[in-house]
Amino acid sequence: MLGYRKTTKRKPKATCKQVDSLCISEISLVNHFPKVGKINTGLCLNLRKLHWFDSADPDTFFPRCYRLAALDERHAFIDDYRRTACTSLLKYIVEKDQYVQGERISKKKQSKRQSSPVNISQTISKALKVCEDFLQSLEHSDIDTNLETQQTPAQEWAEFLDSYYLVVHGGAEIDSSDYLVIHCKAMLQRMKIVNPQLEIEGIHNIWIIKPGAKSRGRGIKCANRLDQILDLVKGDPKLIKENKWVVQKYLERPFLIHDTKFDVRQWFLVTDWNPLTVWFYKKCYLRFSTQPYTLDSMDSSVHLCNNSIQKSLRPLLQRHRSIPVDNMWSVDQFKTFLCTKDREAQWDTVVVPGMKRALIYALQTAQDLIESRKNTFELYGADFMLDRDLHPWLLEINSSPTMAPSTPVTAHLCAAVQEDTLRVVLDRRVKRTANTGDFQLIYKKAAVKVPQYVPQHLRVEGFRVKCPNSLPPLKSSSCAVPKHRSPSKTRVPQQKK
């Protein structure tokens, strides 16, 4: 006897935009908020509004970032790159003259064409002048200066960058004097006061270019030349049209583990946007690159720690044996490593408080952009890097972070974080004092009264007057000029006071 199987057409999966908040019952839960793109792709723009929420400076925890598709930000990035080239050249001069933190600047192979040292005294003077003009602009001392005469011609900037590339990137031998070194040191001390990222910038002026419409590290590139960065953006017109390209300053001097770069994946949970309620997960994990850290190469195997990229690469045989083949550490393994450096206490005093503050600031700036909805929660994954002082720097925030048990570390942690998420969103609904596992409530403010409408798209409506009334005729006056009298014979009467 033949059997027949009834086939039905599968309905398309509903997205968070298709969920009607009015139809969510009291026993239903949704694990995504609408408009979550404002918190990841919009992070670059949101943190510029932090001064409306807190007195903190976003440059102290978020590397400088620009949207290259926006014309004004494109020009701002070009100015930033040129100014960073100036400070990088000054640091190169100083670091070449002395030791910095016990490490000498690496010597590159000099070109055979350079038979004698290069005189770059004019280039150094140009860098000093650019920094001085920038400091005066911050103090508004240039308010009476003519902008046209103050701007440097493009050809002059091209010659400056060529000299910078030749010296810093090419390793050309230069003539330096104690007089120039003293002036470079003094200027860097002044720039450090206004630029919190001066120490992590390094000297190579490396920027990381991210296509905001992609995930798992796809399409991310590193470049250290201005023309290369601008050419990379021109490659995808769709991303340019959608304003997706983002360029961010690269941390050239991170904290390394056995000469290998890593980043930190930190989970956090948002159970409400009004009032904003944030939960911080106490456990996190580290992701390593497969190749030793170097600034002589822009390859992804050195600078990108995404597991989706590194898992297909073979680690270098000379890499330290304590770094596993799967390129991951738990936070407990990292604490053990810090203990060998007598820095274990800094995890609780520097790293964790810094990550909490950065996440709260980022969420505060996006609070009015994401639609708050009842019975909804969402788990996010934030990526951090640590500098040499173990200060955390927020790189990006990912919605729908991967929960794949790709390694023994994630196999344990991903299961634990999902279980603890259910403790927060389910058990606490029944009992407010229920166990929340490793989730810690770090922020909750009073609810903000939301107006009935948000005036984002204002318009004026009306109708045309069809039959306008004519004005009444003017009355004749004894002082008026006769209508048909010739203009040449007209006498204008003297006005009486």
Per-residue pLDDT of 312-334, as tens digits, reads 787 777 788 889 888 999 999 99
Statement: residue 102 has pLDDT above 50: no
Residue 63: pLDDT band (50, 70, 90) is very high
Q: Got the DSSP string for 388-414? A: TT--EEEEEEEES------SHHHHHHH
Please report the pLDDT score of residue 357 as a whole number. 97
The pLDDT of 188-204, averaged and rounded, is 95
Lowest mean pLDDT among 337-341, 343-347, 454-458: 454-458
d(CA 10, CA 328): 39
Residue 181's Cα: distance from chain center in Å?
33
Residue 85's Cα: distance from chain center in Å?
20
Instruction: Identify the burial level of 478 via C-beta atoms within 10 angstroms of its C-beta, where 0-12 means exposed, 13-18 middle and 19 or more buried.
Output: exposed
The pLDDT of 294-302, averaged and rounded, is 89
CB < 8 Å & 24+ apart, contacts of 129-132: 130/82, 130/83, 130/86, 131/83, 131/86, 131/87, 131/90, 131/187, 131/190, 131/191, 132/187
CB neighbour list of residue 257: distance below 8 Å, 6 or more residues apart: 286, 288, 320, 323, 329, 334, 337
Please report the pLDDT score of residue 5 as a whole number. 38
Cβ neighbour number for residue 320 with a 10 Å cutoff: 12
Let me know: does 237 contact 245? Beta carbons within 8 Å.
no
Statement: residue 70 has pLDDT above 90: no
Lowest mean pLDDT among 356-370, 396-410, 422-436, 468-482: 468-482
Statement: residue 281 has pLDDT above 80: yes
The pLDDT of 132-150, averaged and rounded, is 75
User: Prior bond to 275 cis, omega within 30?
Assistant: yes
Taking only the tens place, the pLDDT of each residue in 355-389 is: 999 999 999 999 888 888 888 999 999 999 999 99
CB < 8 Å & 24+ apart, contacts of 403-412: 406/307, 406/311, 406/326, 407/307, 407/324, 407/326, 407/327, 407/328, 408/326, 408/328, 409/285, 409/326, 409/328, 409/329, 409/330, 410/285, 410/328, 412/330
d(CA 420, CA 256): 31
Please report the pLDDT score of residue 487 as a whole number. 52
Residue 50: pLDDT band (50, 70, 90) is very high
Q: Where in the chain is the domain with CATH 3.30.470.20?
A: 36-63+254-444
Residue 23's alpha-carbon distances to 20, 82, 376, 453, in angstroms, are 5, 54, 13, 21
Of these ranges, 61-70, 373-382, 388-397, 476-485, the one predicted with the greatest mean pLDDT is 388-397
Let me know: does 198 contact 87? Beta carbons within 8 Å.
yes
Please report the pLDDT score of residue 32 as a whole number. 86
Let me know: does 382 contact 266? Beta carbons within 8 Å.
yes
The pLDDT of 79-106, averaged and rounded, is 79
Please report the pLDDT score of residue 100 as a whole number. 38
36-63+254-444: CATH topology: D-amino Acid Aminotransferase; Chain A, domain 1 (3.30.470)
d(CA 384, CA 358): 10
Please report the pLDDT score of residue 452 as a whole number. 57
Q: For residue 168, give both structure tokens.
A: 């810093």
Q: What pTM, to 2 d.p., does this model score? A: 0.81
Please report the pLDDT score of residue 470 as a whole number. 67
In 3D, which of 323, 95, 316, 326 has the Cα closest to residue 201?
A: 95
Statement: residue 132 has pLDDT above 70: yes
The β-bridge partners of 287 are 263, 328
Please report the pLDDT score of residue 40 as a whole number. 73
Comparing 257 with 36, the larger pLDDT belongs to 257
Mean pLDDT score across all residues of the chain:
82
The pLDDT of 132-154, averaged and rounded, is 76
Comparing 183 with 466, the larger pLDDT belongs to 183
Q: Give the largest Cα separation in the chain, rounded.
A: 122
Lowest mean pLDDT among 89-98, 187-196, 217-226, 241-250: 241-250
Please report the pLDDT score of residue 313 as a whole number. 80
d(CA 462, CA 324): 70
Let me know: does 308 contact 324? Beta carbons within 8 Å.
no
Please report the pLDDT score of residue 312 as a whole number. 75
Comparing 463 with 216, the larger pLDDT belongs to 463
Lowest mean pLDDT among 8-22, 360-374, 419-433: 8-22
Please report the pLDDT score of residue 483 as a whole number. 52
Comparing 382 with 21, the larger pLDDT belongs to 382
